[in-house]
C-alpha cells in the first residue's frame, strides 16, 4: 500500500469526511502486480453472502485457499 486516507464515524448521519473529502486508499504498482500474479480463486457468490460477517468471510477464504 502506498498511502491511505481513511476516516470512520459511528454517527449514521455523517456520510462524508470533514470538508467533503472521501476515503481513499492508493495501492502501489508492486502490490497490484503481486495480487494479480497470485490471485486466490474463490466462489464469488459465497463471498458476497458472507460479506456482512468479516470474520466468517476471513475463515471461508482461509479454508478455501489451495
The SS3 call for residue 30 is helix
CA 56 to chain centre: 14
Entry pTM: 0.43
Is residue 4 predicted with pLDDT exceeding 80? no
62 pLDDT band (50/70/90 cuts)? confident
More confident: 6 or 33:
33
Q: pLDDT digit string (tens) for 12-59? A: 676 666 666 676 777 888 888 888 898 877 888 988 899 889 899 889
First to last CA, the chain: 25
Rounded alpha-carbon distances, angstroms, from residue 23 to 7, 12, 19: 6, 16, 12
pLDDT at position 5 is 67
Give the cell for residue 66: 489451495
Amino acid at each position: 500500500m502506498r498511502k491511505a486516507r481513511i476516516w470512520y464515524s459511528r454517527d449514521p448521519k455523517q456520510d462524508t469526511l470533514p470538508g467533503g473529502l472521501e476515503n481513499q486508499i492508493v495501492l502501489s504498482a508492486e502490490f497490484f502486480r503481486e495480487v494479480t500474479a497470485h490471485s486466490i480463486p474463490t466462489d464469488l457468490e459465497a463471498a458476497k453472502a458472507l460479506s456482512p460477517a468479516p470474520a466468517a468471510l476471513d475463515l471461508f477464504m482461509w479454508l478455501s485457499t489451495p
